[in-house]
Amino acid sequence: MTGEIAALLTACCWALAARLYRHLGASFNAISLNFWKGLISLLVLLPLGFLLPSIELTSYQLALLLLSGAIGIGLGDTFFFLALRRLGDRQCLLVAETLAPLITALLAMLWLSEWLLWQHWLGMALIFLAVERVLRAGSTSSGTPLNWSGLQFAALAALCQAIGAVISRDIFLHTEVSVLQASNWRFLGGMAIILVLMLLWRQRPLPRPAFCWRPWLVLLVAALVGTTAAMLLQMLAFSHTKAAIAQTLLATSIVLSLLLTKLLGDAIPKGSIHWTLAALLGVGLLLA
């Protein structure tokens, strides 16, 4: 149950951070946004890593953790932000957050031999359907054609999320590595890829305007909640439950964002409450 609760708390963090990140697109490009949120998290977590005990990992295990971060954080988050700009938040989440759990389930069966029970598949199906319906209920038919490059970036983001999740789960199954230690190595792998992409694409690292304090403050809060805390909770989830179940529960961030919208007094799409209840039923089946 620890892993499932950690995954739900991660989804809560993502739901909170999503409202902040969507206001930063006008100030930061995708690469620089990924860079600064990762740097903030490293500045918080690395000192803790020196203070708390850690285990010695083999070169192969370190390489796996670095690879997990490079793919899941460095590439995955960058693809997600690129898709976000082209598709908008609803279409982007519709593709990424519904594909990622399914790909994770398939990869986990092939790589880790993690087979799911029938109630797990039923719970996943309910959550997928609820997420898809909630996103569609809030979208408007503008008549504009689909942005195929955006769809491709969203699908790539889902694939990278799934690969990063399965590699992380594999590490926790075969080592006694702590959540903090695993998070630090993943962030280092992610930051290495982000720096390479920033140099190759010659991206501007600073926002526009560079010295306006408001975007930096929003970024700080979003990074601490949606990246630092979320990473620790996500690693805790992968260390205690199957990769597919954890990834599916992470996708409930879309549904949880509706509850946040309601709490803040904003209008929510018609019919979304019913699908939110369906998602909660799916969560119950995954926790059973």
Do residues 221 and 19 touch, judged by C-beta distance below 8 A? no
Query: Which amino acid appears at position 1 of this protein?
Result: M
Determine the pLDDT at residue 19: 75
Please tell me the number of Cα atoms within 13 Å of 253 on its side-chain side: 28
- Tell me the three state secondary structure of residue 154: helix
**What is the Cα–Cα distance from 137 to 135, expressed in whole angstroms?**
5
Residue whose structure tokens are 């690292």: 205
- Tokens representing 139 are 């979208």
Please choose, from the candidates 218, 263, 274, 230, the residue with its C-alpha nearest in 3D space to the C-alpha of residue 8: 230
**What is the Cα–Cα distance from 238 to 48, expressed in whole angstroms?**
20
What lies within 8 Å, CB to CB, of 178 at 6+ separation is 52, 53, 54, 55
Determine the pLDDT at residue 266: 66
75-90 residue pLDDT tens = 998 898 888 778 766 6
Distances in whole angstroms, Cα of residue 14 to Cα of each of 140, 217, 242, 254: 24, 17, 20, 9
Please tell me the number of Cα atoms within 13 Å of 68 on its side-chain side: 26
Indicate the pTM of the whole model.
0.84
Which residues in the chain land under pLDDT 70? 25, 88-91, 134-146, 209-211, 261-262, 264-273, 287-288
Determine the pLDDT at residue 7: 92
- Tell me the three state secondary structure of residue 212: coil
The kind and range of the H/E element at 231 are: helix 230-240
∠ CA 36-13-22 to the nearest 5 degrees? 55
